[in-house]
Amino acid sequence: MTTNMKALRKMQPARGLSMEPTQVPAIGPTDVLVRVKTASICGTDLHIYGWDRWSQGRIKPPVTLGHEFCGVIEKVGDEVAALKAGDFVSAEMHVNCGHCHQCRVGEAHICPNVKIIGIDQDGAFADFVKIPASNIIKLDETIPEHYGAILDPLGNAVHTVLAGAIAGQSVLVTGCGPIGLMSIVVAKACGSSMVFATETNEHRRAMAKKMGVDVAINPATEDAVKRILGETSGTGVDVLLEMSGNPTAIQQGFKALRAGGRASLLGIPTESVPLDLVNDVIFKGATVQGIYGRRMYDTWEQMTALLKAGRLNLEPLFDERISLEKFESAFVKLQSGLAGKILLYPNGLSHN
Ligand code: NAD
Ligand code: ZN
């Protein structure tokens, strides 16, 4: 097997990324080497590309990006028995320590020692990626490859939607980026009643409609809280899925939540967010949850089961398919806020 490959890497502490020749990763006894078939770009990759303040504090170049992907196992380490070359796989890219309190009590997704492949270690925007075998998710052959490439953000959506009751519940999704859009589909598939969404970007409101939202509201031109209270007989929604990280959207979400409702917060604000705790949380008897990553591995089991059962139609979300070398145009398009999920193919384009 060849020892050289190409990868999309951050080489310098500055804006931009570059295609670089590099070495195929050497694997240890409990690792797996995966040949990447399809990858996708996440909002985090855009931050790293742009070299914002967060990236400057976190990323240590040189590093290969990419944490949304699927592929085929090329080879397995000597101690790996449950997987073999040829298996169609994706992976949980949060590698937990296995020893801390949270890891010990079944909450590995909030391990404080987590290392993320594609951020802290070389990722999947490459011909090959090295993954610990325990993080590999074997995929059913019926799951289409393009869905296999977006399981990381889809898992965020599934984790958030299924963090409480959803069947028969009315839902507000604040923010219709890729994860908000996927949440709409997951909530509906799991039997929610009315789904409302707020989104300031017109293109994304149109996407929300395509993905089955009942009411898409532009909070810049309409009083979103008034509209939602009006449509719910003054009660408010049962469930808030916060998918924007925007302070105004968060505050509106809490105002539109019914007394006794559930607020599940996934969006990451870049500043402190003032909340009316007395009226919007305490007197409301609201349940507020922070949501991080995907539960290991409950979320993966739920998500792959939903996909295998054909419950999630995410087709409107997919945008262009391009070879990895053409990454630059994808990043530019994504920064405009007008793109869906762009798929990258390090080992050549395929069409299934
Ligand atoms: P995104 O940035 O593409 O989507 C956010 C959306 O919110 C955008 O479409 C934006 O137009 C919209 N928005 C902005 N202001 C708004 C307002 N006032 N009202 C309504 N909508 C508004 O992000 P994404 O990739 O879909 O991710 C969603 C959020 O989740 C981001 O904040 C991201 O950082 C965060 N995230 C969290 C986790 C986690 O584990 N907690 C994982 C991945 C992403
Ligand atoms: Zn841990």
State the pLDDT at residue 262: 98
Distance CA 29, CA 32 (A): 8
Around ion ligand 2, residues with a beta carbon closer than 5 Å are: 96-97, 100, 103, 111, 113
Residue bearing the CA closest to ligand 1, atom 32: 267
Residue with tokens 């594609």: 118
**Main-chain dihedrals φ then ψ at residue 142, nearest 5 degrees:** -80, -15
- Give exposure, 119-138, as e/b (b: 16+ Cβ within 10 Å): bbbbbbbbbbbbbbbbbbbe
Residue bearing the CA closest to ligand 1, atom 10: 175
Residue with tokens 């997704």: 109
Q: Provide block-wise average pLDDT over 10 residues at a time, the chain (352 residues).
A: 93 97 98 98 96 96 98 98 98 98 98 98 98 98 97 98 98 98 98 98 97 98 98 98 98 98 97 97 98 98 98 97 96 92 89 51
Of the residues 54, 160, 196, 243, which should be mutated to test ligand 1's pocket, given the most ligand atoms within 8 Å of the CB? 243
Looking at the CA of 95, name the nearest ligand: 2
Span from the CA of 98 to the centroid of ligand 2 (angstroms): 5
Spatial CB neighbours of 220, under 8 Å, sequence gap ≥ 6 = 200
Span from the CA of 338 to the centroid of ligand 1 (angstroms): 14
Residue bearing the CA closest to ligand 1, atom 39: 292
Per residue in 70-118, pLDDT (tens digit) is: 999 999 999 999 999 999 999 999 999 999 999 999 999 999 999 999 9
Q: 241 CB less than 6 Å from ligand 1?
A: no
Q: 252 CB less than 6 Å from ligand 1?
A: no
Contact (Cβ atoms closer than 8 angstroms) between residue 120 and residue 111: no
**At CA 34, angle to CA 32 and CA 40, rounded to 5?**
130
The dihedral of CA 216, 162, 101, 138: what is its sign? negative
State the pLDDT at residue 45: 97
Is residue 47 annotated as a catalytic residue, yes or no?
A: yes
State the pLDDT at residue 351: 53
Spatial CB neighbours of 82, under 8 Å, sequence gap ≥ 6 = 133
Segments in the chain forming alpha helices (H): 43-50, 53-58, 101-104, 145-148, 151-161, 178-189, 202-210, 224-231, 247-256, 277, 298-308, 327-335
Distance CA 216, CA 218 (A): 7
Distance CA 14, CA 38 (A): 27
Contact (Cβ atoms closer than 8 angstroms) between residue 212 and residue 195: yes
User: Which domains can be identified in the chain, with CATH numbers?
Assistant: 4-150+314-345 (3.90.180.10), 156-290 (3.40.50.720)
State the pLDDT at residue 326: 95
